[in-house]
Structure 1
Amino acid sequence: MLSIGSLGRTAGVKVPTIRYYEEIGLLPEAERSAGNQRLFNLRSLHRLRFIRHARDLGFPLDAIRDLLSLSDRPEQSCAAADTIARAQLAEVEARIARLNALKAELERMLAQCAGGTVRDCRVIEVLGDHASCAAPHHGHPDIGKGT
């Protein structure tokens, strides 16, 4: 059995995150010691590593919940897991496209800057007037994405 601190160190996850995952049902409720300390078994460690790896790959918590549910029933077809992974891949590809658009806009902004004074600075001008941008790129690709 592992204490919450040992579980966190072993899985590379902070203690508050473990508590949160337990609270929202991604991790089963831990057993308790006589002193009321949480005690986790190896199954919880494997599950937490699964969650962490899925988060590292950018999966949202709802998708992870679905993947965990699928992993609890290994006799099922993996079609649902493939669908979830394909949706995540599409999200990553969309994020890359947005990042490429942001990169291109920043490169264009810098290329047009003459390096004179702030009064004539193209960077300041473009940031002050979104209409000066070459293409739409509404916001940072990760804002509002729960990442």
Structure 2
Amino acid sequence: MTDHRPIKRGALAKSAGCNIETIRYYENIGLLNQSERTTSGHRVYSPEDQARLGFILRGRELGFSIDELRSLLSLVDSHGYTCGEVLELTRHHIAGVKSKIADLMKLEQTLSEVAAQCDGSDVPECPIIDALWARN
């Protein structure tokens, strides 16, 4: 994705596989630095900006939250981070992923149990609807 020369926002969005609005959003919340402007007013992004956007997008693909990415980028920007610090943040993220997986497995089990009560017939009574209306 990283070009070795400054590129305009549209070209950056295309090469990164994201929308221009995504780039604007990351600039507005401070994850991506505000871009330079050409004399004609076009925003241009340096190779470092391009690499940073790639880092952000890959982090989002891996499920890192905005706050987690902000922490990781803060470490990177300080130029004094240790691998141990990054590992600690990553392990915290893994714990959150495992918790979400456990929640999704419970959800799948509950939905499967409810679906198993339904025979899919043409009658208006449906145990799935009944389960959704039920209050516990």
Pairwise same-fold verdict (TM > 0.5): yes
Return closer, same or farther for 1:88/1:130 CA change in 2, 3 Å cut-off. farther
In structure 2, the partner of 1:42 is 47
Structure 2 match to 1:128: 133
Q: CA deviation at 1:19?
A: 1.0
Cα RMSD (Å) of the superposition? 1.4
Q: How many residues align?
A: 130
1:7-57 Cα distance to aligned partner (Å, 9 max, x none): 111111211111111122111111101111101010000000000000001
Deviations 1:51-80 (A, max 9, x none): 000000111111111111212344432222
Confirm whether residue 109 of structure 1 aligns to residue 114 of structure 2.
yes
Structure 2 SS opposite 1:22: helix
How do 1:1-147 residues align onto structure 2 when only pairs under 5 Å count?
Answer: 1-116=6-121, 117-119=123-125, 121-131=126-136
Offset at residue 84 of structure 1 (A): 1.4
Q: TM-score scaled to structure 1, two decimals? A: 0.82
Unaligned runs of 5+ in 2: 1-5
How far apart, CA to CA, are the structure 2 residues paired with 1:47 and 1:53? Answer: 10
Question: 4+ runs of 1 displaced by more than 2 Å?
Answer: 72-76
Percentage identity across aligned positions?
37
TM-score relative to the length of structure 2: 0.88
